[in-house]
Amino acid sequence: MGSTFGGFEITKRGLIVHQTAIQTTGHNISNASNENYARQRVNLDTMDPLYEPSLTRSNVPGQLGQGSKILSIERIRDFFYDDQIVATTEEKAYWETKQQYLYQIEKIFNEPSDNTLRHLTDEFWSSWQDLANYPSELSHREVVIERAQALVSKIGDTYHKLKDLRERAELEIQDTVKLINTYAKEIQDLNNKIVKLEALGDNPNDLKDRRDAIIEKLSSLVNIRVGRGDKDEIFVFIGEQALVQGQILRQLKLVPDPKKEGMSEIVWEHNDKRVILSGGKLHSLVELRDKDILSRIYSLDEFSINLADIVNEIHKDGFGLDGSTNNNFFDFRYITDDANAVFRPQDHYGDYDYNLDGTPEITAIFRISGTQKVDPQRKLGINGILTFTKWDENSKSYIDIQIAYNEDETLEEVIKKINDAKVGVVAYLNHDNQLSFKAARENDDVKYNFFIKHLEDSGDLLVGYTGILKASGPAGAFDFRRTGEIAKFQNSLENITISPLFHPAGHIKINEAILRDPSKIAAARGKDIGGTGDYNSPNGLADGENALLIARALKQGKHHIGYAENITQFYNALIARLGTESRKAEDLAEHNNEHLVELKNQRQSVMGVNLDEEMASLIQFQHAYNASARALRTMDELLDIIINRLKS
């Protein structure tokens, strides 16, 4: 039969169970405003009854119940929503970061307004038109200089603001990597505590909530994938590499990369392999630093070097009021001027010491013009194949591209074929109707920006017909990977432009001689004396034809900036692309934010604390606790009768 004191144990268990349930309910209520808290539920079960089936068991009908016990304290959470929120948080952080920086780039360009590159370029162009009408008046020359200074100042200001923005992105990358490592260490520490507590039979629900909250914060910084296949461990992956594997931690580190101008490369600390990023704030910052911002800096560089070369090419052919000629209007630092080598530019014009070891390895040429004036509409009457070299992003190497021409084609048609093929250079006819080639920016080494890579002709188009190369075939080909290659060209040095030092937007300026003496502005075209076909002598104070040629080249010409035909087309494309990307980032950031709010609401419907339900449960557990206490009191009274009142 049952023990006299058996009822005490049953009622004691009832008190303990419902007291724990009341405490858990109170814990839920106190965390009702904590969005990272998953509500907890006490799961009850009955104690094993008396007696076990055996031959020696008491001869009583049925089994005697032993009350209740706590099976577990369970946190109510759906990992499906957690994984969806992690993925959406990555996307949201990626597009929000991108939108913030693209907005800053838009503010730097500040279109449309009266103080933009577009407006100042138009003003500069207008000043040349006015000078063409009044070439003898110094006041109009001063206006040209003033507007050129305003344009150069704006270019420099835009460049330095973009450079500062890129450096800010680099600092954010450094801070973000540190924060990722901090979160990873916190997850590792929590894993250690959780494993130890679970080994003791506990349910460390609050620690798990804290770990899930950190994982969610981590997902806003970098693309992660959470592995929950092992009940004893949780894995956090970046790409296919584990950042946290249970109690094992692998952290990230930053390594300066010379190919990125000293900016950081993110690698794994334990093996120095590059971290594969695909989402989150960190991925967005790296893309902004290495693509979005840098591409705008490169575009500004392209704008600057081409603006300077378009004006200089024509300006050098003209005459100033003082009869001076062969003067650049704009100056910038040539790449060979900054070479730390034993040679000087005049000794090996265009040779460049890429490795800074004292010996030049390559030839850095931006533009070359032919010696022959040609009719673009006339049939060539010759056949051949042009060979160019450009950078291929897929193979990460230089590849040759060939353009065939035949006797029935015109030079105009061949120029179009070259430019449409985007072979790393652009072709055009200059103001003297001479064929010219200049480099278009590619995605190879930044030090090779604005280099003509290779020019070769199997026929006579680039040799006798246009006067660019001295000889046909591979022996006469120009290739930048050799030195002394300037000797392959027919034209004189003043008709060849050396490549600029890196980021010409940061150092373009007006020729100091012109700033000191505006009469040196070459507004006059001059005249041909001796029938040489060259404008070799001044033609009087009223000659403003050269100024008009510069104005036409800036606005209506097809001198090309990269693969765009002129400055207007190039700049319009730059601003339009920026606006499109910024709007896309804004729309996707908003979309992902709305999606995230919806997912969190759905998750809260599962794991969130409902105060009405908790109050109902609290009343239920309170009544059960009171009833258990009442039963205990009844058992006490029964025993009191037996022990104290049956003495006599």
Identity at 595, one-letter amino acid code: H
Whether 472 contacts 459, CB under 8 Å: yes
Tell me which residue has tokens 């990272």.
Answer: 36
Quickly count: other Cβ atoms within 10 Å of residue 527's Cβ.
13
Distances from the Cα of 420 to the Cαs of 310, 403, 415, 564, in angstroms?
21, 11, 9, 11
Q: What angle do CA 503, 156, 265 make, to 5 degrees?
A: 45
Per-residue confidence (pLDDT) for residue 339, from 0 to 100: 40
Quote the DSSP letter at residue 259.
G
Quickly count: other Cβ atoms within 10 Å of residue 112's Cβ.
9
Collapsing DSSP to helix, strand or coil, 41 comes out as strand
Per the structure block, which two tokens stand in for 112?
A: 């449309």
Question: What is d(CA 577, CA 568) in angstroms, rounded to the nearest whole number?
Answer: 14
Identity at 155, one-letter amino acid code: I
Q: Is the preceding peptide bond at 135 cis, omega within 30 degrees of 0? A: no
Residue 76 exposed, middle or buried by CB count within 10 Å (0-12, 13-18, 19+): middle
Question: What is d(CA 434, CA 375) in angstroms, rounded to the nearest whole number?
Answer: 9
Q: pLDDT digit string (tens) for 91-150?
A: 999 999 999 999 999 999 988 888 889 999 999 999 999 999 999 899 999 999 999 999
Distances from the Cα of 322 to the Cαs of 143, 325, 572, in angstroms?
18, 9, 38
Residue 145 exposed, middle or buried by CB count within 10 Å (0-12, 13-18, 19+): middle
Per-residue confidence (pLDDT) for residue 51, from 0 to 100: 67
Per-residue confidence (pLDDT) for residue 469, from 0 to 100: 95
Question: What is d(CA 313, CA 236) in angstroms, rounded to the nearest whole number?
Answer: 59
Residue 215 parent element (H or E)? helix 205-221
Quote the DSSP letter at residue 162.
H
Question: What is d(CA 445, CA 21) in angstroms, rounded to the nearest whole number?
Answer: 67
Tell me which residue has tokens 């194949």.
Answer: 385
Tell me which residue has tokens 């392999």.
Answer: 273
Quickly count: other Cβ atoms within 10 Å of residue 515's Cβ.
13
Per-residue confidence (pLDDT) for residue 56, from 0 to 100: 62
Q: What angle do CA 615, 619, 625 make, to 5 degrees?
A: 140
Kindly report the backbone phi and psi dihedral angles of residue 453, in degrees, each rounded to the nearest multiple of 5, phi listed first: -85, -45
Quote the DSSP letter at residue 290.
I
Q: How many CA atoms lie within 13 A of 631 on its CB side?
A: 18
Residues with Cβ within 8 Å of 529's Cβ and at least 6 positions away in sequence, in order, are 536, 537
**Strand duo 365-373 + 434-439: pairing:** antiparallel
Q: pLDDT digit string (tens) for 372-426?
A: 999 999 999 999 999 999 988 888 889 999 999 999 999 999 999 999 999 999 9
Q: Is the preceding peptide bond at 51 cis, omega within 30 degrees of 0? A: yes
Question: What is d(CA 325, CA 328) in angstroms, rounded to the nearest whole number?
Answer: 9
Residues with pLDDT less than 50, the chain: 338-347
In this structure, is the dihedral angle defined by the CA atoms of residues 453, 459, 465 and 467, taken in order, positive or negative? positive
Residues with Cβ within 8 Å of 19's Cβ and at least 6 positions away in sequence, in order, are 625
Whether 312 contacts 304, CB under 8 Å: no
Identity at 582, one-letter amino acid code: S
Size of the chain, expressed as the number of residues it contains: 648
Question: What is d(CA 25, CA 33) in angstroms, rounded to the nearest whole number?
Answer: 14
Question: What is d(CA 125, CA 122) in angstroms, rounded to the nearest whole number?
Answer: 5
